[in-house]
A and B are shown apart, each in its own frame.
Chain A
Amino acid sequence: MEHRPIHLDESPIRFEEWRRRLPNWLQRFLPSGGGSHEDHHGKGMFGFTVFLLSESIIFLSFIFTYVVLRLNTTNWLPPGISGPELSTLVIINTVVLLSSSFVIQPAENALKRNQLSKFRWLWLITIAMGIYFLIGLLIEWKNLDFKLTTGLVGSTFYLLTGFHGLHVLAGVVLQIIMLIRSFIPGNYNQTHFGTSATTLFWHFVDVVWVFLFSLLYLWRA
């Protein structure tokens, strides 16, 4: 395959010049016209990022539904129901989930510097934090005074937290797979696409939780 430099850019917006002015980490996502051989990460992370943008639209559609229903309903909580509670359990769960982003990132960085042992330990802690969140979610569900079918509050709450929880589960599963693969000799010598994508996915899951947390628990009836 040829490693030719970029040819004349006939684009009216001179895309190539703009691209070169961007910071390095952003340039990774925007390829040059012809494909550079060096960024082996390039298309994988680009594709995965694009996929995450799509996923966020699904969440957006659920959030849109929740917000519109809530704004247009006078009695959001059925009589006798107190709705989602901002309990200690929920607060601790949130803290655990959000700080796990700050554990997974150093793990990923360690892998890039080939510090396999450090990577594995930090990665394992992240998995534990994820599982903690999931168990906390299930306990919270069990203790609530409303079900999926209890009015609009039930429909929206369980759908949003359940769909998010599914993504947390998926993230944990991906992390476990990556951890197992780290025991295959030479697995991470050439590409870290698997762990990079899993890390990005985990950050995505956390950002979504920030929105859901605010909309479900901080928005009082």
Chain B
Amino acid sequence: MSESSKTTNVVIAGLGGQGVLKASDILADALVRSGCDVKKSEVHGMSQRGGSVHSDVRFGSEVLSPMVPPGEGDFLVVLDGTQIEANLHALRDGGVLITPATILGEEGDMKAIEKAGGLPLTRQNFNVALLGALSTHLALSEEHWLAAIRANLPERAHAANAEVFDFGRAAAQGDRPAL
């Protein structure tokens, strides 16, 4: 495969109920809007009872297998600190790891950040904050991201999620509220 047609691999992981699948829905939707080929794969079922969940999103000019081959993940986004170890095998050498610490800092505590920044950050929309962090690495316009957020969340959550997305994007670049 030539370099230009290379498929980019994103793995999003966490625990059932944390919004792993919603995050991958938003990412995949934004990618579809940008015009590329996209495949998204996960397994529903038993995993929804609080167990480990992961979702693969692949994009490029033509995506073949819907599953990210082990060790070929370009990006690994983990929504829960306890699930990093169990998913590292998905990431290639030199791949980018995005975790809660990426936006909260090593000692980061969601509550403190929320207060300090006056942010509508909650457990429910933390997945979208991590997508904001991921967005700093992808050539995907903010317009597509926001359209995907609107298409996948109820209207009452649009404003808060857009704000949280921007926070995640800024925080991943080191711009987070001082504690």
Q: Do A and B bind each other?
A: no
